[in-house]
Amino acid sequence: MADLKLNKASTRAPEKFDEEETKAALPAIYEELDELQNVLYAQGKYAVLIVLQGMDASGKDGLIKNVFSSVNPQGIIVQSYKVPTAEELSHDFLWRIHKHAPAKGMIQVFNRSHYEDIIVTRVHNMIDDNTASKRMKAINDFEELLVHHNNTVIFKFYLHVSQEEQHKRLDERIQDKTKQWKYNENDFIEAALRKEYLKAYEDCFKHCNKVKWTIVPSDQNWYKEYLVATTLRDALKELNMQYPGIKK
């Protein structure tokens, strides 16, 4: 992903996808995910970590709600990461992350993640390039640890939303009473730093890609949800998981 330029990457579904046909296909895909999650939980051999990153209003909350509503709530945990607390800042930057890594049999969703510590911190000049480089190495080592020492299957999704669609959604947080609780005046300040955020993400994709990233066009929620759901389904199928037999 060394040559990826996000300002040239599409934020919309490929033309071959029909909205109504794609929406109609989603319930069956969600049923497959539900069954795969049941086997994952019963077998207890693999852990699954889903990392969701993206600009404000890229649709992380809605994606979690719509894609994972069908799975057994006993087998999934969602962890949202916000500004670090004083306790978290007194530890290394991965301390608050590692304690929420998934156990075998579980799906763990990170709504934002350890990548905030090399994205937001760089955009706001909280760390220099040398520190960022060291953190990226630590992140690669951390993800390899989860993969090789806990059978963790990691999915990393960047929800790529256009500037126009982002502003539209932020405006909705002012106008729509059901979304006003999400409003934060700082969101518009962050949106104005789009160029800096895209640059930070591009560097992240270049240096933290041992576990590959999926760039998800996110202007259309139906396609965003379809792409994430099918990516998860296809990868989990390849694990060839089986229900365990009667314990002796």
The per-residue pLDDT for range 92-107, each reduced to its tens digit, is 999 999 999 999 999 9
pLDDT tens-digit map of 107-160: 999 999 999 999 999 999 999 999 999 999 999 999 999 999 999 999 999 999
> CA angle at residue 73 from 159 to 44, to 5 degrees?
95
pLDDT at 2: 66
Q: What's the token pair of residue 68?
A: 């994972």
Distance CA 76, CA 109 (A): 8
Q: Where are the beta strands (DSSP E) in the chain?
A: 47-54, 76-80, 107-111, 152-160, 213-217
pLDDT tens-digit map of 198-244: 999 999 999 999 999 999 999 999 999 999 999 999 999 999 999 99
pLDDT at 3: 80
Mean pLDDT, all residues of the chain: 97
Backbone angles phi, psi at 150, to 5 degrees: -145, 20
Distance CA 93, CA 112 (A): 14
pLDDT at 150: 98
pLDDT at 242: 97
Backbone angles phi, psi at 38, to 5 degrees: -65, -45
